[in-house]
Amino acid sequence: MFCSAVPLRAPMNVAGRGFFWRAVVLRDFAVGEYTIGRITGKPVLVFAYPALDEAGRVLAVVLAGLDLTWLGQVVAEAHMPEASTVAILDRSGLVLARYPPAGEEIGRPVDPSLLNLILGTRGVRTTEAPGPDGTPYLFAFSALSYREAPVAYVSVGVSKAVAFDEPDRLLRLNLLILGIVAALTLAMAWIGGKLGILEPVRALVGATKRLSTGDLSARSGLGHGQGELGQLARAFDVMAESLQEAERRRLMDEELRRKNYELEQQNAAIEEANRMKTEFVSMVSHELRTPLTSIQGYVQLLQERDAAALGDEARRSLAIVKKSAGRLLGLINDLLDLSRMEAGKIELRCGPVDLPTVIETVAASIRLLIESKRQRLTVAVDEALPVVCADADRVTQILTNLVANAHKYTPVEGTIEVAARREDGFVRVDVSDSGIGLSAEEQAQLFTRFFRAQQRGPLGTGLGLVITRLLVELQGGRITVSSAPGRGSTFSFSLPVLAPAPPVGERAG
C-alpha cells in the first residue's frame, strides 16, 4: 500500500488479503469479509476495485473500508417492530451489524442452526427457528449479490407471537362478526325463502300444469334474474316458447304441404292444358295449311293463265289475296315450329357448319329484297373463322330472320352489316342496321310471343324472334340485342365451335 486517506505509520502489504486477490484475478469489483482494519484498528468491510491499463493489466487496486460501527447505527435506526431482529452477514456468515445491538456478536458466526440456511440462500428464504430470547421466531433471509455471486446476507426475524398477534385479534373479531351475520342470515333466509323461493316455485308449478293440459301460451310470469329460480323460469319460458313455435311451424308445414299439393295439381292441369293447346295448334295449323296451299295455287294459276282477261281491280285483289295467304301461311309455319320446340319434338341435325358460306348464301338470297329499298348490305367475316357445331338449315333460318327484320325496320338507303368473329369457344355473329332502333322497355319484351315494338313498321307475326331465340339456345348458344331509339339495332348470337376430333391413336384405343 503506497497511498492512504488515513495516515500510514509505515508501508503496509495487503497482498495476502482475499479481497485484494479477487480484484486482481477477476479484474473486477470485489467485496471482502469481516476484518479488523490494520490502520484504524476498527472492524471494517473492505471493498476493492482494480485500475487497469489499456492492455487490461492491473496497475493498482483501490481499497475502501466500511466502518461497521456506522453500519450498526444504520441498522439500529431502521425502526423495527418490537421483538424483532436484523442481522447483516458477510459471505462466510460472520455478523457485520445487528439489531438489537450486541457488540460481542460482531465478527462472530451466526447461530449454527441458521448458518447453513443463510449461506445456501438464493433470492429470498423463510424459516422458523428459536430467537434470541428462546421463543419461536419467523426468519427471512436474502442474499446481496454482485454479478449473481452473493457478497453479503441480510437476516430479518420477528417473534411469532408478535407476528400473529394482530391476525389472531382480527380472527376473533371476524368470528364474532360471522356469528352475528349468520344469525341475521338465517332470519333473512327464512323470510326470503318464503318470498323468493316458495312463491316462484308455486308459480312454476301452476305454469307447468297449464302447459301439460295443452296451453302452449303458458308462461311462468317470473323475472329472468341471475339466480337458479330465475334461470329455471327462463328455461321453462324458453321451452314453452319453443313448443309453441314448433307447433306453429308444424301447422305451417301442414298448410305448406297442402298448398304445394294444390300447386302441383294446378301445374299438372296447366301442363295438360299446354299440351292440349300445343296439340290443338299443331292440328289446326296442319288443317289450315292444306286449304291455304290450294288458295295460293289457284291465285297463282289465275295470275299466270288469265292475267290478260282480268281487269286491274281483279289483278290487285288477287295480289292482296296472295300476299295475305302468304302471311297466314308464314304465321302457321311459325306456330308449328314454336309448338314443336315447346313440346321438345323439333329435330336438330347438328354437324360442322361453315358460317361464312351460310352468310354468303343468306346475303345472296335476300339481295333482291335489300335492293328494293336501295339499302346497302355488307359482310365482314374474320379470316380463318372456325367451323361451328350446329344445324345448317336452322342457322340459315336464324340468319334469314335477323337480316329480314333488319331490312323491315331500316329506312330506304339504309345500311345493314353482317359480321362474324371468334370469341373464346364460340363464334359470334352480329347483324347491325341503321334502322329506327328500340327502347329499353321494348328490348326487355323483344323475345316474347306476339310482341311488336310499338306496333311500328311492317306487319309481322310477332313470333320470328321467339323462334330465333329458341333455335339459338337449342344449339348451345345465346342471343342478345343492343339498341337505342333512332340509332339502329345490333342483334348478336353465338354458336359453339366444333370440338376437334381426337387423334387416330386415341380413336383406335
Domains, the chain, ordered by start: 18-68 (3.30.450.20), 78-163 (3.30.450.20), 216-343 (1.10.287.130), 351-496 (3.30.565.10)
d(Cα 324, Cα 330) in Å, to the nearest integer?
10
Residue 296's nearest CA partner among 259, 323, 333 is: 323
The set of residues, in sequence order, having a beta carbon less than 8 Å from that of 153 and lying 6+ positions away, is 88, 89, 90, 91, 93, 118, 119, 121, 141, 142, 143, 144
Q: How many residues does this entry show for the chain?
A: 509
pLDDT value of residue 282: 66
d(Cα 186, Cα 131) in Å, to the nearest integer?
47
| Cα 81 to Cα 86, 106, 156, 321, distances in angstroms | 11, 22, 11, 134
Q: How many CB atoms lie within 10 A of CB 475?
A: 21
pLDDT value of residue 10: 67
Q: How many CB atoms lie within 10 A of CB 425?
A: 10
Digitized pLDDT (tens) for each residue of the chain, 509 residues in all: 666 767 766 667 777 677 777 877 888 888 877 777 777 777 888 888 888 888 878 888 887 777 777 777 777 777 777 777 887 777 777 877 777 776 566 777 777 667 666 776 666 777 777 777 778 888 787 877 777 777 777 878 888 777 777 777 888 888 889 889 888 888 887 777 666 666 677 777 777 877 778 787 777 767 666 567 677 777 777 787 788 888 888 889 999 999 999 999 998 888 777 677 666 766 766 666 677 777 878 777 777 777 667 777 887 887 788 777 777 776 777 777 777 777 666 778 889 999 999 999 999 999 998 999 999 999 999 988 999 999 999 999 999 989 998 998 899 999 999 999 999 889 999 999 998 888 888 888 888 776 666 545 555 567 778 888 988 999 999 999 999 898 999 999 999 998 776 665 555 44
Helix (H) or strand (E) holding 491: strand 489-496
d(Cα 85, Cα 140) in Å, to the nearest integer?
11
pLDDT value of residue 389: 92
d(Cα 488, Cα 401) in Å, to the nearest integer?
17
pLDDT value of residue 104: 65
| DSSP per-residue letters across 183-250 | HHHHHHHHHHIIIIIIHHHHHHHHHHHHHHTT-TT--------SSHHHHHHHHHHHHHHHHHHHHHHH
pLDDT value of residue 434: 92
Over its C-alpha atoms, the chain yields an Rg (Å, rounded) of 58
Strand partners, 50: 61
d(Cα 398, Cα 470) in Å, to the nearest integer?
10
Convert 279-303 to b/e letters by CB count within 10 Å (16 or more is b).
eebbeebeebeeebeebbeebeebb
Strand partners, 491: 431, 481
N-to-C CA span, the chain? 108
Q: At what angle do helices 464-474 and 312-342 cross, to 10 degrees?
A: 40
Residue 340's nearest CA partner among 422, 462, 463 is: 463
The burial of 476, by beta-carbon neighbours within 10 Å (0-12 exposed, 13-18 middle, 19 or more buried), is given as middle
Q: At what angle do helices 228-305 and 312-342 cross, to 10 degrees?
A: 150
Q: What is the DSSP letter of 148?
A: T
pLDDT value of residue 508: 46
pLDDT value of residue 187: 82
d(Cα 437, Cα 453) in Å, to the nearest integer?
10
| Cα 353 to Cα 286, 300, 359, distances in angstroms | 31, 36, 11
| Cα 236 to Cα 194, 207, 223, 226, distances in angstroms | 21, 9, 12, 15
The burial of 89, by beta-carbon neighbours within 10 Å (0-12 exposed, 13-18 middle, 19 or more buried), is given as buried
d(Cα 477, Cα 489) in Å, to the nearest integer?
20
